[in-house]
Amino acid sequence: MTGSRHVTSYAPRFALVAAVSILFFLGGCSSAKRPEAKASTPVAASPSPVYVHMNGHNMFLENIVAVAPGQPVVFVNEDTGMHMVLGYNPLTGKVNPKFSGSLMGTPGRGHPVSTYQIRFTKPGVYYYFCPVHAELKKAPGNVYVPIKRPGVHGFPVPMAGVVIVTTEKALIADDPPSSHRKILPGYFGG
């Protein structure tokens, strides 16, 4: 298309009418393609979702994921019990009501699963925890960290995670393979 535009710019003024109309036509093609190229940018910026899974182990399987701005993050509950996702600021301990979802349990494989989807438009690091299975506690250094709620079974780690929103493609490429699949057939539990 650049070529035809080049020809258009330098075409002699007295070019044949036919040639002009051909160039016009080519010009039309070129300008028709340009918005298409622009329109592909948002598509590239919001590719398929990144999935974060839960099961009976009361943790987020992919507890650190990186996504592009606008790319959906989908939390998927494959546990029989319910979980919640709640964003927080580690510097203040304040929770973020805009990053908040409840996910009902599922009886298991073949049954519907509860999901919660969110998109972040601004690059940054977004912290979250499940307030059912973890709680925020002030830690040395005046930061708030999620700790495992007393009595919660599962792994010793608290049920919490981080979403990194970045334009750095290498970080996004490091996401675990399981984060590309909505349902992990072997991961139902609880």
Binding site for Cu ion (CB under 5 A): 83, 130, 132-133, 159
| Closest approach of Cu ion to the CB of residue 143, in Å | 22
Buried b (16+ CB within 10 A) or exposed e, 112-148: ebbbbebebeeeeebbbbbbbbbbbeeeeeeebbbeb
- Of 102 and 166, which has the nearer Cβ to Cu ion? 102
- Of 50 and 159, which has the nearer Cβ to Cu ion? 159
Helical (H) or strand (E) element with 25: helix 17-45
> d(Cα 56, Cα 160) in Å, to the nearest integer?
14
Strands 134-139 and 143-148: antiparallel
- Of 95 and 132, which has the nearer Cβ to Cu ion? 132
- Of 51 and 71, which has the nearer Cβ to Cu ion? 51
By beta carbon distance, the residue nearest Cu ion is 130
| Closest approach of Cu ion to the CB of residue 119, in Å | 22
| Closest approach of Cu ion to the CB of residue 103, in Å | 8
- Cβ(65)–Cβ(51) under 8 Å? no
Structure tokens at 115: 């999901």
| Closest approach of Cu ion to the CB of residue 84, in Å | 6
Q: 178: which DSSP letter?
A: G
| Closest approach of Cu ion to the CB of residue 59, in Å | 8
- Of 67 and 103, which has the nearer Cβ to Cu ion? 103
